[in-house]
Amino acid sequence: MNDMILKEANATIYFDRSNYLREQTTDPKKMEAAISYLKDYVEDRDHGLLGYFYRILGKTEQASYHYQLCLKKS
């Protein structure tokens, strides 16, 4: 796994004080790059991270799908 892509995406996440401390990203393109990378090299343990990144981008259906996969695997 290319940790640099994931670290860069993770570094863009912040808590938006004006939006009930909802997590947001300062760089959606880096988040999309990390998602793309994870989708290409997804392992069972990566579905939680995919769900998290999708949730940050507001893509709740995709996030829910990957969270459900996590629950099925546990």
- Match 């670290």 to its residue by tokens: 7
Is-above-0.85 flag for pTM? yes
pLDDT at 9: 96
| CA gap 7, 20 in Å, rounded | 25
DSSP 11-42: HTEEEEGGGTTEEEES-HHHHHHHHHHHHHT-
pLDDT at 31: 97
Domain residue spans of the chain: 3-73
pLDDT at 19: 86
pLDDT at 26: 98
pLDDT at 44: 73
Tell me: the pLDDT tens digits for 16-59? 999 888 999 999 999 999 999 998 887 777 899 999 999 999 99
